Chain A
Amino acid sequence: MLTVTSSAPEADSDFVLVRRFAAPRELVWRAWTDPAMLARWMGPAGCAATVEHHDLRTGGHTLIRMEMGDMTLRARLGWRDVEPPALLAYEHSAGDADGNVVRMPFDGDWPLRLMTVVELHDEGATTRLELRWWPIDASDAETAYFAGQHDSMRQGWGGSFDKLEGVLAR
């Protein structure tokens, strides 16, 4: 294990989004986990989405078919952690008809699986959603996540790009 003496925790920025919705947490949870609801907003605008498979538990996956003109794409949500009504963690990738993880057929720079963590915070009539994601690579990042280094990974991405960009822009 490496020790870095000079690094301080960095604020999240590049790989986190925070939103408040004027809806109770139970409803936001259902929007993410009820297949009929999920199909209505997850896919790109103007595409007809159908949930072909839905197995909401660790190790299960949800497969969403999206029709855009002549093109059919599938989003695969591989569930890693499901803690109603507060936490969802899943791998977001492209899928084939059998639910296997595949690379996007047409886009060379969209090959990666994204680890995605959704936290829902109950604020009475509203819900604060915190979304974090990062590209994963089965060899190390995934392993690290399940080894409980989740927090350090979260922190790890934040701010680095901003700082570097700031320096590069000078």
Chain B
Amino acid sequence: MIEAAALDRRFAALADPTRRAILSRLALGEATVAELGRPFAISQPAISKHLKVLEEAGLIATGQAAQARPRRLNAEALTETVAWADGVRRMWEERLDRLGAFLKDQMKGDDHADRD
């Protein structure tokens, strides 16, 4: 189970389109800061800042290769976060099932009830 604060950090990290794009790139394999920055119209320090947020959220890790320091994706952290999101979705699906059943009951007691 993910700790609450860690999950908060992960979602905050994922809430930014640039950071999601960086993760998508890292899902293909590790990459250096320069490589990660190439598709974006922002400075390298700005990219580094995004990488710091992702690293603090545990979503990526920094490799050891001295100069290049390539970043790589932490797939497990991402999978846990996705599992949480799936749980919320299931909860909503069940709740809307109940709403549907409730509305059906209400319509039965109504003059212009429609059958589906």
Chain A residues proximal to chain B, CB less than 8 Å: 2-7, 14-15, 17, 19, 21-23, 27-28, 31, 37, 40-42, 44-45, 103, 108-109, 111-112, 114, 125-126, 129, 131, 133-135, 137, 139-141, 152-153, 156-157, 160-161, 163-165, 167-168
Chain B residues proximal to chain A, CB less than 8 Å: 1-4, 7-8, 11-12, 14-18, 20-21, 23-24, 27-28, 39-42, 46, 75, 78-79, 82, 84-85, 88-89, 92-96, 98-104, 106-107, 114-116
Nearest chain A CB to B35 CB, angstrom units = 13
Q: Among the listed A7, A108, A164, which residue makes an inter-chain contact with B17, where contact means beta carbons less than 8 Å apart? A: A7
The answer to whether B89 touches A23 (Cβ under 8 A) is: no
The answer to whether B42 touches A3 (Cβ under 8 A) is: yes
User: Top 4 A-B pairs ranked by shortest CB distance?
Assistant: A111-B4, A167-B27, A41-B98, A6-B39
Nearest chain B CB to A13 CB, angstrom units = 10
The answer to whether B8 touches A137 (Cβ under 8 A) is: yes
Nearest chain B CB to A79 CB, angstrom units = 18
Which of A7, A23, A133, A165 lies at the interface centre, i.e. has the most chain B CB atoms within 10 A of its CB?
A23
